[in-house]
């Protein structure tokens, strides 16, 4: 080992942020399998959602999720914070309250100093503390590539589960974090991003969706998800797939990092964005006014992205105001649920 600071992102083989299995691949693996049936499973594998939900009693259910990935920033403490915030996010996207977590670690102990693992876990603990979550265990394996994440269990009320379905016509769609972390972390990996941009995007990715979730709790929210690896349009597609309605997105209202737009114009687009486009592009109609860089950003895979909330139209402005009052400055109404075209996304 040398005195040079270790660049964690250069140890990652896959491009972009989370080195995720290409969309659709897991569906093929699961297709036709005989999955166990239990009436207490309120949200399971039958339809893509943020987390599983299992009813314990009439007024209590468990909400469970797991997420882990290789580093997308070089600072180990920040990486730990990001991975934890990302894993916790799926609990918040369901309307749950996270309670316990377990570490999932793959660590190359022959090439990286153990102090790096300690800093990563400290970063994770920092976010768990903020979330009011206790670490109760974990599992660590030796691997050639560093990976870290959490499995998280929370409480949720069985009659207030925010799934991806249940869009109502007229609902407004609200997004709580800007898009572009996939492109920016690709730039970080390529050594193109300066410290100010690294700090900005790290701050965004380490921000818990906790405040956004607590805020939406007092409004009439019909559906919610968080924007992660499949990108804005990929996760939106999951909301419209079996819906009786469609959605109309105003691209100019979608918060996007200007740096990400500049790098997109230079062609610095992670492979995941192309995967997302080929997987879900058939659901999307772009108006000719939407420029190519913005289109690419709408497919950009996000790490620890914001919540995408479908809220009753009469509550929409008030929810945006409340989110802003609680420090979520970029919260914006980005579109609405429309009667037609059914199960499609129109971007204007
Ligand atoms: Co999710
Ligand atoms: Co997830
Ligand atoms: Co949800």
Give 123-171 pLDDT, tens digit per residue: 999 999 999 999 999 999 999 999 999 999 999 999 999 999 999 999 9
Rounded to whole angstroms, the Cα distance separating 112 from 147 reads 12
Q: Ligand 3 centre and the CA of 96: distance in Å?
A: 9
Q: Does residue 330 carry a catalytic annotation?
A: no
pLDDT digits 0-9 by tens, 304-346: 999 999 999 999 999 999 999 999 999 999 999 999 999 999 9
Vertex 131 angle, CA 15 and 305, to 5°? 30
Mean pLDDT of the residues in the chain = 94
Q: Ligand 1 centre and the CA of 90: distance in Å?
A: 5
**Radius of gyration for the alpha carbons in the chain, expressed in angstroms and rounded:** 19
Phi and psi at 323, nearest 5°, equal: -60, -45
Residue 1 above 60 pLDDT? no
Of 17, 31, 172, 224, which is the active-site residue? 17
Q: What is the pTM of this model?
A: 0.94
Tell how strand 246-249 and strand 345-347 pair up.
parallel
Q: 299 and 226 in contact (C-beta within 8 Å)? A: no
Q: Ligand 3 centre and the CA of 11: distance in Å?
A: 33
Q: Ligand 3 centre and the CA of 52: distance in Å?
A: 10
Closest-approaching ligand to the CA atom of 149: 2
Q: Ligand 2 centre and the CA of 88: distance in Å?
A: 9
Q: 283 and 242 in contact (C-beta within 8 Å)? A: no
Mean per-residue pLDDT, 227-237:
97
Q: What is the pLDDT of residue 16?
A: 43
Q: Residues with Cβ < 8 Å from 315, sequence gap 6 or more?
A: 219, 220
pLDDT digits 0-9 by tens, 47-78: 889 999 999 999 999 999 999 999 999 999 99
> Going from the N-terminus, what domains does the chain have, and what CATH number goes with each?
8-160 (3.30.1330.10), 172-347 (3.90.650.10)
> Ligand 1 being an ion, which residues bring their Cβ within 5 A of it?
50, 90, 226
> What is the chain's percent helix, strand, coil content, to nearest 5?
35, 25, 40
Residue 14 above 60 pLDDT? no
Q: Residues with Cβ < 8 Å from 281, sequence gap 6 or more?
A: 299
Highest mean pLDDT among 5-19, 37-51, 310-324: 310-324
- Confidence band (pLDDT; 50, 70, 90) for 13? low
> Ligand 3 being an ion, which residues bring their Cβ within 5 A of it?
50, 93-94, 162, 224-225
> Ligand 2 being an ion, which residues bring their Cβ within 5 A of it?
67, 90
């Amino acid at each position: 080992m040398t005195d040079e600071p270790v660049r964690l992102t250069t140890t990652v083989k896959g491009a972009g942020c989370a080195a995720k299995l290409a969309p659709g691949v897991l569906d093929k693996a699961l297709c036709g399998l005989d999955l166990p049936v239990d009436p207490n499973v309120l949200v399971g594998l039958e339809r893509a959602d943020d987390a599983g939900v299992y009813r314990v009693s009439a007024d209590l259910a468990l909400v469970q999720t797991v997420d882990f990935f290789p580093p997308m920033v070089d600072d180990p403490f920040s990486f730990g914070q990001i991975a934890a915030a990302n894993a916790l996010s799926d609990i918040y996207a369901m309307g749950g309250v996270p309670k316990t977590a377990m570490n999932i670690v793959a660590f190359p102990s022959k090439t990286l100093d153990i102090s790096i693992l300690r800093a990563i876990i400290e970063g994770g603990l920092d976010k768990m503390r903020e979330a009011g979550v206790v670490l109760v265990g974990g599992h660590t394996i030796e691997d050639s590539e560093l990976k870290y994440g959490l499995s998280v269990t929370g409480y949720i009320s069985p009659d207030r589960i925010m799934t991806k379905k249940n869009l109502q016509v007229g609902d407004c769609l609200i997004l709580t974090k800007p898009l572009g972390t996939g492109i920016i972390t690709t730039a970080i990996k390529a050594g193109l991003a300066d410290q100010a941009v690294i700090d900005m995007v790290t701050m965004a990715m380490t921000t818990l969706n906790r405040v956004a979730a607590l805020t939406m709790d007092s409004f009439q929210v019909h559906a919610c998800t968080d924007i992660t690896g499949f990108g804005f349009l990929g996760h939106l597609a999951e909301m419209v797939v079996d819906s009786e309605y469609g959605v109309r997105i105003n691209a100019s209202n979608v918060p996007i990092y200007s740096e990400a737009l500049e790098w997109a114009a230079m062609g610095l687009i992670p492979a995941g964005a192309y995967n997302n486009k080929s997987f879900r592009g058939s659901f999307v109609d772009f108006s000719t006014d939407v420029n190519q860089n913005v289109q690419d950003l709408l497919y950009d895979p996000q790490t620890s992205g914001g919540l995408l909330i479908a809220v009753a139209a009469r509550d929409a402005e008030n929810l945006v105001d409340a989110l802003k009052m609680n420090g979520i400055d970029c919260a914006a109404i980005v579109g609405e649920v429309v009667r037609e075209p059914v199960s499609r996304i129109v971007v204007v």
